[in-house]
């Protein structure tokens, strides 16, 4: 293993590891085992959510690991029920209780839910919680540039992070450009594609993997890191968990990065957050 993942600075002053563990859909003992395995492998970013129903298991795994709480960056998310200033306070308190921790490092609005039209108030609530509690950073998930711009126009708030579905098959150029222009860190979920096997078996990826003596998954994750993104791959397989973080001892060259980026299929392969949410 190449050691711990390096960190990226956030607007709030906190730092987020560039590679972490996505924990959906595991729950209970399976989830706790997954998180403990990842922490033992060197992960220090763990991503959970109210809707995953595994915050309790994540918190237990962090406690059982023996690693100091301050060394683990915990992200969680709240759903549409809490999209109000007071609602976010209640959501944060409930997450703290389920996790069994005194603070969360990053709290995200899980989906904008524009049909409900309360995501601007959700960001107002997040900013209030950030100022009044031990919460270290705030963010959004599945927000498009138009959603972020509306929040900025109406509140002046810019989130630390926007977590979006992003892989070589959908590299989200417009979103990444908006984030870069506003100092927002882009975090990639489903970083190896919604169907992991398809991207892992792509001849472009497998060819580059052979050149570097790495796995296809490692090549794809390295692409994310070199684009300046945070990636949170999901796995419950101990071997894959260890493999996914072992990506800091090689580099893709400019041509390889460009070739991988050329696999982009546009926005059609990601879930439309104007039409879906919870």
Note the pLDDT tens digit of each residue in 234-244: 999 999 999 99
Return the residue matching tokens 């709030």.
Answer: 12
Sheet with 45-47, strands from edge to edge, namely 21-22, 45-47, 73-78, 106-109, 137-141, 161-165, 185-189, 230-231
Buried b (16+ CB within 10 A) or exposed e, 33-46: bbbbbbbebbbbbb
pTM of the model: 0.97
Could you tell me if 54 and 22 are in contact, meaning their C-beta atoms sit under 8 angstroms apart?
no
User: Which pLDDT score, from 0 to 100, does residue 174 have?
Assistant: 97
User: Which pLDDT score, from 0 to 100, does residue 196 have?
Assistant: 66
Catalytic residue among 43, 52, 169, 189: 52
pLDDT at residue 258 is higher than 60:
yes
CB atoms within 10 A of CB 62: 23
The question of whether 52 is a catalytic residue gets the answer yes
Residue 142's pLDDT band, with cuts at 50, 70 and 90, is very high
Query: In the beta sheet, which residues pair with residue 139?
Result: 108, 161
Angstrom distance (rounded) from CA 139 to CA 75: 10
Q: For residue 3, with 0-12 CB atoms within 10 Å meaning exposed, 13-18 middle and 19 or more buried, which class applies?
A: exposed
Helix (H, G, I), strand (E, B) or coil at 259: helix
Angstrom distance (rounded) from CA 214 to CA 224: 15
For 19, phi then psi, to 5°, come to -140, 135
Residue 2's pLDDT band, with cuts at 50, 70 and 90, is very low
Domains of the chain are 15-191+229-234 (3.20.20.100)
Query: Rounded mean pLDDT of 258-273?
Result: 94
- The chain-wide mean pLDDT, for the chain, equals 96
Contacts of 27 (CB under 8 A, 6+ apart): 52, 53, 54, 57
Query: Rounded mean pLDDT of 36-43?
Result: 97
DSSP 58: H
């Amino acid at each position: 293993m190449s050691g711990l993942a390096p960190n990226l600075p956030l607007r709030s002053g906190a730092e987020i590891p560039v590679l972490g563990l996505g924990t959906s859909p595991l729950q209970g003992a399976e989830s706790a085992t997954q998180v403990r395995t990842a922490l033992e492998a060197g992960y220090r970013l763990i991503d959970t959510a109210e809707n995953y129903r595994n915050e309790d298991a994540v918190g237990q795994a962090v406690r059982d690991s023996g690693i100091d709480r301050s060394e683990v960056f915990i992200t969680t998310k709240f759903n549409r029920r809490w999209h109000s200033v007071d609602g976010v306070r209640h959501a944060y308190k409930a997450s703290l209780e389920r996790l069994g921790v005194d603070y969360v490092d990053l709290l995200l609005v899980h989906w904008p839910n524009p049909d409900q039209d309360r995501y601007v108030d959700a960001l107002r609530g997040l900013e209030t919680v950030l100022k009044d509690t031990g919460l270290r950073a705030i963010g959004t998930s599945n927000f498009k540039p138009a959603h972020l711009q509306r929040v900025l126009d109406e509140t002046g708030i810019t989130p630390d992070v926007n977590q979006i579905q992003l892989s070589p098959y959908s590299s989200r150029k417009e979103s990444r450009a908006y984030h870069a222009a506003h100092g927002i860190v882009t975090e990639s979920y489903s970083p190896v594609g919604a169907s992991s096997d398809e991207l892992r078996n792509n001849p472009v990826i497998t060819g580059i993997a052979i050149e570097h003596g790495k796995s296809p998954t490692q090549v794809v994750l390295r692409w994310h890191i070199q684009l300046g993104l945070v990636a949170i791959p999901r796995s419950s397989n101990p071997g894959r968990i260890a493999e996914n973080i072992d990506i800091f001892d090689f580099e893709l060259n400019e041509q390889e990065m460009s070739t991988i980026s050329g696999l982009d299929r546009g926005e059609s392969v990601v879930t439309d957050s104007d039409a879906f949410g919870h």
